[in-house]
């Protein structure tokens, strides 16, 4: 097992970031100001497997959006889920 796979195996939570791409001003501002904060970036890299979900790409992510009750094109949303996809917060 590679070092990278061992690190991923230790991380039991996924940091799901639902975002429009390309994004509106409020979404861009959230990404540039909040998501770029050094403490948040370090926490995501250390404790989570980060996942980006494009919430404005139609049917391609419809199952993910439905599972977490997210309307398409919604403003920025963050979900933390366990390795089985169960919502933690």
The better pLDDT of the pair 55, 2 is held by 55
The better pLDDT of the pair 37, 25 is held by 37
The CATH superfamily assigned to 3-82 is Glutaredoxin (3.40.30.10)
| Residue reference for tokens 């989570």 | 48
| Residue reference for tokens 């089985």 | 84
- pLDDT score of 89 more than 80: no
The better pLDDT of the pair 66, 23 is held by 66
Q: Where are the domains of the chain?
A: 3-82
pLDDT tens for 27-78 read 778 878 888 999 999 988 888 998 888 888 765 566 888 888 888 878 888 9
CA distance readout (Å), 51 to 1, 64, 66 = 22, 12, 16
Amino acid 79: pLDDT: 92
């Amino acid at each position: 097992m590679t070092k990278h796979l061992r690190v991923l195996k230790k991380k039991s939570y996924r940091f799901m970031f639902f975002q429009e791409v390309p994004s509106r001003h409020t979404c861009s501002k959230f990404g540039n100001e909040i998501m770029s904060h050094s403490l948040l970036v370090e926490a995501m890299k250390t404790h989570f497997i980060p996942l980006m979900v494009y919430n404005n790409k139609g049917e391609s992510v419809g199952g993910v959006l439905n599972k977490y009750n997210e309307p398409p094109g919604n403003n920025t949303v963050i979900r933390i889920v366990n390795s089985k996809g169960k919502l933690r917060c």
